[in-house]
Amino acid sequence: MRLEFYRLAEDIIRLAGNKPVIYVSNDGNWGDALIHAGTLAFFRHFNIKYKELPVSYSALQRNLMLLKAKLNGQLIVLAGGGAWCGHYGQMARASKNMVERYNFNNFLVLPSSYDKTYNIKGIIFYCRDQFESQKNMPTAKFCHDMAFFLEPLQCNTEPTKGIANSFRVDIESGGEITLPHDNYDLSSKGRHDDDIYGFFQYISQFSVINTDRLHVSIGASLLGKEVNLYEGSYFKNNAIFKTSLKNSYPSTKFISAEGRK
């Protein structure tokens, strides 16, 4: 799995030259914090200098920083995740606006899911699965989700409980799971820029994790838990399971809709 990250690092270092990259982070939930933390760990590991452009910045602050980056010839690195899929779409709009408004020709999107083809001149795309996303974006390069770059946090909590049910209750729910009475949607309990220690600490209490949250399954897999990852509303969970989880984390299983019948 590390080979793909080395290739991604080589691409960024080549495109950035000796200048810091501008990392445009993405708004999201506590699961997205694993992507964010994994990305920063990746930058530090490969000695990639960066300046973060947080989503909390005002429009004026963002525009000034992007304009300065354009004038300095800096590489724009856009956070990875699921924001290119139809449920959201804001990342595609924002990227197109940045490229067209500032005429960027040095722009890279970190590993993401894609439910359609995007052709935006000047952008290098990375996809995070070798199935639907790769099919929709055949010219995209592949690297695993940035959360896989994380080293699991060593929590002092021993697994004193049996099963954790952590199913989502938002637009990405598959809608076919009757929520257990003890359901706790972990990813919804925090934000993308929150500390991830509490995320891992919660998971570490349990021996088995049932979830349709991709990053709950990734966090639990990193901790070596027994994981049952269920389908969501689109291909993301199964595609990343087959690409990154299936062979590297044998205690993680994918539960399809048919498999539940």
Task: Give yes or no for residue 261 having a pLDDT over 50.
Answer: no
Residues 35 and 140 in one domain: yes
pLDDT, residue 209, reads 98
Q: Which domain holds residue 229?
A: 161-260
- Same domain for 108 and 223, yes or no, is no
Q: List the helix and strand counts (H, then E) for the chain.
A: 8, 10
219 and 138 housed in the same domain: no
Q: Is 78 inside a domain boundary? A: yes
In terms of pTM, does the model score above 0.85? yes
If one counts the domains in the chain, the total is 2
Report, as an integer, the average pLDDT of 170-179.
Answer: 81
Which residue did the predictor score with more confidence, 47 or 62? 47
Residues 35 and 110 grouped into a single domain: yes
Residue 33 lies in a domain: yes
**107 lies in the same domain as 182:** no
Give 260's pLDDT tier (boundaries 50, 70, 90): low
CATH of the domain at 133: 3.40.50
Per-residue pLDDT of 234-250, as tens digits, reads: 999 999 999 999 999 99
In a domain, 156, yes or no: no
Nearest-angstrom CA–CA distance, 175 and 173: 5
- Residue 52: strand pairing partners: 23
Mean pLDDT calculated for residue range 57-78: 90
Q: At what angle do helices 214-222 and 197-204 cross, to 10 degrees?
A: 70
For the chain, give the mean pLDDT: 91
Q: Are residues 48 and 129 in the same domain?
A: yes
